[in-house]
Each structure stands twice: as structure tokens, then as C-alpha cells.
Amino acid sequence: MKKRLIVTMLAASMLMGSLAGCGGSSASGNAGSGNQAAGTSGTETGSAEAGTVDTSEEVNLVLYLYGSEGVANKDILAALNEKLKEKINATLEVKYIDWGDISTKYPLLWSAGEDFDMAYGGASTVMPYATLAKQDALVDITDMLDQYAPTLKAAITQDAWDSATVGGRIYGVPSTYSEFSSAYGFVSRTDRMKEYGIDSIASIEDMEAYMDASVAAGRIPLNGTSNMGPEMYKMFTMTTNQWIQTPGISDFYLVGDLNDPENIISPIFTDEFEDFAVKMKDWADKGYWPTDVLAATTDDKDNFLNDMADAYISHQPDWTGQYGTMQTKLPGVDTEFFCFPETTGTIVATSGSANMTLINANSKNKERTLMMIELLMTDKECYDLLQYGIEGRQYEIQDGKIVKPASYNEEKDAGGFCAWAMRTDDLSIPYASEDERRYTLNEEWKKVAVQNPYTGFSFDDTDVSAELSAISNVNSQLGMQIMLGKTAQDPKDAVAEYRKQLEAAGINDVIEAVKTQYADFLASK
């Protein structure tokens, strides 16, 4: 019986992080430079023996990911499977959950008893990984790592492993890609700043000066839709006190103070929120956004790229990821980014548990699945195929960055996988279409980022699902109107009514449930 020896390799240190979206890349690895940072390149280069694993029987492992199948995905998988079969005598099959079906099909994936092997998951997915762990839907990999994934175990930081822990046991492989979940901010045009006499934008007051000048020039600064309501709320929470978002409510979320995380509150019930509501009414009256913003259909970023707005609000990866599009649609235009949480010292690194790869308890090949995850995250050849496709067809490396080959044909070559939970800092390659400031800012923020006190905590909303539904309805109506200054009432009167409706919907019950579960979480650590 043929046996393959699994060996340990010296791994480069990988930093925890993640991306709540598809696409993008990090700055370290370079497929064209021969960088072997944390993996192998077809030959085993490790040292100490970690154990002998029987791989004599070829197995096919099924991975569920979000998204849909690209036209070239089967070709990419065929190339990847050649490598996987050579290394661990296994092949990979990817199944997809379309974006519009996630809320319904993702929970069914785990409840139907299907014997797939692994799937994307995380702390805030429709079925949070902690909930799945408590339901015995996941494989406990704590005692498997040393034998089946020693390189992976060494490569992932202890903080990241801790974030994947429930009741002292590890129930998934966390992402090791650096991202900052709180890095929302205001994107402005440098040519407009010069035109308006604005030297820099580093405060809400600077934003107002820029937008006042934009209105005076006959433009609409934030020309968007009702989607800006949650963006305004993020601006409020990220520039007020040292608030950190907590699990519990997704729309207009709960917060806890960085220095007192157990004191979980709704910011809507603070004096600061009343002042914010007044400000939003003032901004609406000044013409910072369209009068019909609640009915508008083109968002602020699209209007910005079409020269129909002077600013938009987004997170840093989205801003830097627009670089290529900017060069096409607004040639010669540069932008600046005012990051909201920099004002309060609450830049938070996204925890590894935000994006994870989970092994299904019904898998018939649990050990080989963990071995495959290790290869997909630490082996350079496997990593590049999964993340970028076939070199020369889906991508090329120019000056250390990913570009589309001259021969690339969208109709026959388009393909790729939303496998962002398997991305790593050390093996990722930057895209030529990204603004380089993505990486310089990430390096700066790593030095000042604060630890998220809610890392690893996942709220089980089973007992308050009715309350959350009622709260969502209130938020989508009166809440959205307040965020965009579009209430018929005086803003402070509108806030009073908003609070009354939220209390009737059961927000205090939700807050107490979050507090109780968080206290239990802390006690179990």
C-alpha cells in the first residue's frame, strides 16, 4: 500500500486578516519571482517528519463557495487537480451558492445532511461558525493539525487560531489575510480639493468645507441612494467615542466601548445621536445629496466614477480597488481617503474568524480535507491556481503585479473562485489595478490597530429572531430617513419616535441577550 509522508516545512509568518468580498490581493508574494515564502513548488522541502498518512486511495473532495462558475473554472480546476493529485492523491470539486441564494441555501447546506467536505464560513455568515460548532456540524481539528497540517498550524498566528475557537476547541481554518474591517472613510478628488481651496480632509469639518464648496460649484457632493444611510451611520459610530461594533444587529448595529466592551449599547439612544440627526438634516437641506435620495437608483460611487459626484463613502479595499477603473473613467484624476476610525484610534484588524474554511462533520475524508486546505493556503503552485487561475491565460505578472494577458478573452478565459478565506499575506500578489496605498496604509495600520474585544464571539440570535425582524423593519423605515435627514418631523422629535419604535420592537431584549452571551463567552475563555 502506497503511503505519502507528510512533512513539516519552515513557514514564513503570516498575519491574520480577511476580506469581506471577492477579489483583491496582498503585497508579499510574487509568482514570477520564485518566492517560496510559506510553501513548496512541486517538491517537498521540509524537515522533520510529522507522521505517516495513507494516501493510496484517490479521493475527490467537495468545497462549497459563494458565487457562480466562471467559463474557465473547469480548466483551472483541472490544472489545480494535477498538482493536488501529485501531492496528496486527491482532487477538488467546487460547488457554488449564488449570491442571491446565500440566505436560504447556506443554512440548508448544513441542515440537509449532505456529505460535502468543506465550505466557506465565518463569524458573521448566515449560519455563524460558532453556531455550527455548537450544533456538531463541524469537525474539531484541534488534535488533527500537528499530523495533517503542521505547516498550516505554524503559519497561522495564535490570535487567528484563538478566533476560530469555540469552547477551547478549533472548528475551522481562519484567514491569514490582513484587512481592517473598520476602515471606512470619505473619498474625495484631489483636483476638486485644489479647485475648492481645500488643503486636506482629516475631519468631519473638513468634509463639510469640501462639500459646501462642491454645492457652491453647482455639483452634488454625495450623489447616491438610500444605501448611503448605513454609510452615514458608520461615519457616526466610527468618529464618535471609541465605539467598536458588536455582533447582534446587522443594520444599524450595537456598539461597545473599546475600554468597556461588556457595556453594549445602541448608539441611537445616546445624546451624540441626537446631534448627529440634526447634522444629517442640515446636510440634506444644504444639498449634500439628492432631494430624492430615498428613491434614487444610482449609487454614490458610480456617480463619482461618471463625474456626477465629488465624493463617496466606502471602505479602504474598495477605494484602492477602484484604481484601474478610475484611470479608465476619470483619466488623470487622483483621490484622497479620510479614514473615519483614525480620528478615534479604533482601527480594528479583521479577525481570522471573519472568513474561514470549515470541514463538514459528515465528510468521509476529514484528514485529507485538512491536508488539502493546507496545500491551498501554503503551497505556492496550488495557491496561485486557486487565487489567480492559469498563468498566461487568466493572468500575467508584470513588474511584480497581476495584469490580464494580451490574449485574454472574457468569453472564454473568464474564471476564478471566491476563495478569499484561503488567502494569505505571504503568498498573495498585488494587482496592477489596485492603488498601491492599499499596502502602505495596511502596513501603517498594523502598527496602531487595536484588538477587537469581540473576536471569536458569535451571537446566537435564535431566541430573538422575531425581535430582530421587527427592529430591521423600523431601521429600514424611520431609521433610514433619519440617517439621510429626510424626516417630516424635527430631527430630535424623529429620534424620540425612532427610539420608541425600537423599544417596542424589542431592542432592549436583544441588547440583554448579546450582553449575556458575551459574558458567557468571556467566562469560557
Query: What's the chain's Rg over C-alpha atoms?
Result: 24
The contacts of residue 343 (CB under 8 Å, 6+ apart) are 202, 203, 238, 239
Tell me which DSSP letter residue 348 carries.
B
The grid coordinates listed for 428 are 498573495
Identity at 34, one-letter amino acid code:
G
Looking only at the bridges linking them, the beta strands covering 396-398 and 401-403 are antiparallel
The grid coordinates listed for 290 are 439628492
Whether 312 and 370 share a structural domain: no
Range of the domain at 80: 15-179+351-448
Q: From first to last of its 525 residues, what are the pLDDT tens digits of the chain?
A: 333 333 333 232 332 333 333 433 333 333 332 333 333 333 333 323 335 788 999 999 999 999 999 999 999 999 999 999 999 999 999 999 998 899 899 999 999 888 899 999 988 788 888 889 989 999 999 999 999 999 999 999 888 898 888 888 999 999 988 878 679 999 999 999 999 999 999 999 999 999 999 999 999 999 999 999 999 999 999 999 999 999 888 889 999 999 999 999 999 999 999 999 999 999 999 999 999 999 999 999 999 999 999 999 999 989 998 888 998 999 999 999 999 999 999 998 877 888 999 999 999 999 999 999 999 999 999 999 999 999 999 999 999 999 999 999 999 999 999 999 999 988 999 888 888 898 899 889 988 999 889 877 778 888 999 999 999 999 999 999 999 999 999 999 999 999 999 999 999 999 999 999 999 988 876
Whether 427 and 506 share a structural domain: no
Residue 3 lies in a domain: no
The grid coordinates listed for 256 are 461597545
Number of Cβ within 10 Å of residue 76's Cβ equals 21
Distance CA 427, CA 521 (A): 33
Whether 22 and 135 share a structural domain: yes
Whether 319 and 377 share a structural domain: no
Number of Cβ within 10 Å of residue 60's Cβ equals 12
Identity at 186, one-letter amino acid code:
F
Whether 194 and 309 share a structural domain: yes
Structural domain total, the chain:
2
Residue where one domain finishes, among candidates 405, 426, 448: 448
Residue 146 lies in a domain: yes
Whether 332 and 473 share a structural domain: yes
Identity at 305, one-letter amino acid code:
L
Residue 333 lies in a domain: yes
Residue 245 lies in a domain: yes
Residue 453 lies in a domain: no
The dihedral sign for the CA sequence 256, 260, 264, 266: negative
Residue 5 lies in a domain: no
Whether 337 and 364 share a structural domain: no
The grid coordinates listed for 121 are 464560513
The CATH number of whichever domain residue 216 belongs to comes to: 3.40.190.10
DSSP H helices, 112-178, are 129-134, 145-148, 150-155, 158-163
Q: Which of 138, 164, 165, 64 is nearest to 360 (CA)?
A: 138
Residue 210 contacts residue 311 (beta carbons within 8 Å): yes
Distance CA 266, CA 254 (A): 5
Number of Cβ within 10 Å of residue 412's Cβ equals 11
Identity at 228, one-letter amino acid code:
M
pLDDT tens string 441-496: 988 998 899 988 987 777 888 899 999 999 999 999 999 999 999 999 999 999 99
How far, in Å, are 306, 307, 407, 434 from residue 328 at the CA level? 11, 12, 20, 13
Whether 90 and 148 share a structural domain: yes
Global pTM value: 0.75
Whether 133 and 211 share a structural domain: no
Residue 288 contacts residue 222 (beta carbons within 8 Å): yes
Whether 33 and 137 share a structural domain: yes
The dihedral sign for the CA sequence 40, 351, 178, 80: positive
Residue 352 contacts residue 174 (beta carbons within 8 Å): yes
Distance CA 60, CA 426 (A): 28
Residue 106 lies in a domain: yes
Residue where one domain finishes, among candidates 448, 473, 495: 448
Whether 164 and 187 share a structural domain: no
Q: Which of 174, 239, 176, 159 is nearest to 205 (CA)?
A: 239
Whether 297 and 208 share a structural domain: yes
Identity at 52, one-letter amino acid code:
T
Residue where one domain finishes, among candidates 425, 448, 471: 448
Residue 328 lies in a domain: yes
